[in-house]
């Protein structure tokens, strides 16, 4: 066994890389900066994210994944190659074995694209594992038992809800709504309500700083009072302007998007066999993915579904960790993995 084994959680917002025997070695934004004329990659990850919305005409900073699937094949391949080099070192004598996560609702064509991009980026063998399964393994859920466990993985591009029993996915539902749609909702709200244009980075900063899924009667009087100053460009005069936004206003902006996410969870609960449904009420729903860290989202989900929900520890790293564990114990999980 000379070749290294790498697990990659290829997310719309962040890519996390797990190296067998070492654990998580990389966690970088899924952003690539390329030159406009010859499509040459000049920056990947954190460095490229700094460039979003700030590039001159000859450089384009883009996210090669949209809604959890590959939107730009050549850029994704270059990015995968960069992450593999960074994890394994550039001088690789043996090609690594790579396992990549994909959303459970993807088509055969989208699966093929991920496999091909991974092989082209320099993998010896490429494996695919479904995101909810990897998230469940990473959240330390005993998935091999004959009992129902429900996992909801809310990432940047998609929300995956699945019921898992006996090591496989029984029911799953995927909606292409996640953290990015929440950022969009915030940007649209400031544009409609205040005629202020803001970029996606600013929208994300607002979400992290003051977004709250539950504002109002459940919370103490001090809640709902958090404020933040926003700078952007006035849509009418075209000049820079500063406004103040409150937690309540942001809640108003993002609430419809949160309802879309929760409808995916409800969709799965409605299709779950009764025996497994009783297990889920017992154990509750486990939430993973970066967007599950949104303040009070677990409480809102509990309120609207009637099933206790809680966020897994290290929610952002669950999928990558699960991918790594599956890769290290490939015999145990081989029913749930496709390979090339």
| 103 alpha carbon, distance to own chain's centre | 10
Q: 3-class secondary structure for 167-190? A: CEEEEEEEECCCHHHHHHHHHHHH
In this predicted model, which residue has the larger pLDDT, 90 or 231?
A: 231
26-46 pLDDT tens trace: 898 889 998 888 888 888 888
CATH number for the region 5-29+69-134+318-339 comes to: 3.30.420.40
Q: What pLDDT is recorded for position 241?
A: 93
Return the number of other C-beta atoms located less than 10 Å from residue 84's C-beta.
24
Q: What pLDDT is recorded for position 184?
A: 94
Residue 114: name the closest of 97, 96, 105, 127 by CA.
127
- In the chain, what percentage of residues exceed pLDDT 90? 44
Q: What pLDDT is recorded for position 272?
A: 93
- Tokens read off for 48: 């490229």
**Contact call for residues 243 and 190 (beta carbons, < 8 A):** yes
Q: How far apart are CA 187 and CA 206, in angstroms?
A: 10
- Tokens read off for 114: 């991920």
Strands 97-102 and 125-130, by their bridges, are parallel
Lowest mean pLDDT among 56-70, 120-134, 138-152, 287-301: 56-70
pLDDT band at 206 (very low <50, low <70, confident <90, very high): very high
Residue 100: name the closest of 6, 224, 229 by CA.
6
Q: What pLDDT is recorded for position 217?
A: 56
Q: Tell me the C-alpha to C-alpha distance, in Å, between residue 55 and each of 48, 52, 58, 60.
A: 10, 7, 8, 6
| 40 alpha carbon, distance to own chain's centre | 26
For domain 179-254, the CATH architecture is Alpha-Beta Complex (3.90)
**Contact call for residues 249 and 189 (beta carbons, < 8 A):** yes
In this predicted structure, the answer to whether residue 174 has a pLDDT above a threshold of 80 is: yes
Q: How far apart are CA 13 and CA 283, in angstroms?
A: 29
| Fold equal for 143-177+260-314 and 179-254 | no
136-158 pLDDT tens trace: 999 999 888 889 999 999 988 88
Q: What pLDDT is recorded for position 1?
A: 54
> What are the beta bridge partners of residue 99?
7, 127
pLDDT band at 219 (very low <50, low <70, confident <90, very high): low
pLDDT band at 53 (very low <50, low <70, confident <90, very high): confident
234-260 pLDDT tens trace: 999 999 999 999 999 999 999 999 999
User: DSSP readout, 136-162?
Assistant: HHHTT--TTSSS-EEEEEE-SS-EEEE
pLDDT band at 194 (very low <50, low <70, confident <90, very high): very high
Return the domain boundaries, the chain.
Answer: 5-29+69-134+318-339, 143-177+260-314, 179-254
Asked if CATH classification 3.30.420.40 holds for the domain at 143-177+260-314, the reply, yes or no, is yes
304-334 pLDDT tens trace: 999 999 999 889 999 999 998 888 888 777 7
| Residues 106-130 as b or e (16 or more Cβ within 10 Å = b) | beeeebebbbbbbbbbbbebbbbbb
Read off the pTM. 0.88
């Amino acid at each position: 066994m000379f070749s290294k084994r790498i697990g990659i959680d290829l997310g719309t917002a962040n890519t996390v890389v797990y190296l067998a025997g070492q654990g998580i070695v990389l966690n970088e934004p899924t952003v690539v900066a390329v030159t406009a004329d010859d499509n040459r990659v000049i920056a990947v990850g954190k460095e490229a994210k700094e460039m979003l919305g700030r590039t001159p005409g000859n450089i384009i900073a883009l996210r090669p994944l949209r809604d959890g699937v590959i939107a730009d094949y050549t850029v994704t391949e270059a990015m995968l190659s960069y992450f593999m080099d960074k994890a394994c070192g550039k001088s690789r004598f043996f090609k690594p074995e790579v396992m990549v996560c994909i959303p459970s609702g993807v088509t055969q064509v989208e699966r093929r694209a991920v496999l091909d991009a991974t092989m082209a980026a320099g993998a010896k063998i490429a494996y695919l594992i479904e995101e909810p399964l990897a998230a469940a393994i990473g959240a330390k859920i005993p998935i091999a038992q004959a009992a129902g466990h429900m996992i909801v993985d809310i990432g940047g591009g998609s929300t995956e809800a699945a019921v898992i029993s006996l090591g496989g996915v029984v029911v799953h539902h995927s909606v292409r709504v996640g953290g990015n749609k929440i950022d969009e909702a915030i940007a649209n709200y400031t544009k409609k309500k205040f005629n202020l244009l803001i970029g996606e980075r600013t929208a994300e900063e607002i979400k992290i700083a003051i977004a709250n899924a539950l504002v109002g009667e459940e919370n103490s009087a001090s809640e709902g009072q958090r404020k933040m100053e926003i700078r952007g460009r006035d849509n009418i005069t075209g000049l820079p302007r500063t406004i103040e936004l409150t937690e309540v206003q942001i809640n108003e902006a993002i609430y419809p998007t949160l309802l879309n996410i929760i409808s995916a969870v409800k969709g799965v609960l409605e299709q779950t066999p009764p025996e497994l449904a009783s297990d889920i009420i017992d154990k509750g729903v486990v939430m993973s993915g970066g967007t599950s860290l949104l303040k009070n989202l677990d409480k809102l989900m509990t309120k609207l579904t009637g099933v206790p929900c809680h966020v897994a520890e290290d929610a952002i790293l669950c999928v990558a960790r699960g991918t790594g564990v599956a890769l290290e114990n490939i015999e145990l999980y081989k029913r749930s993995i496709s390979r090339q």
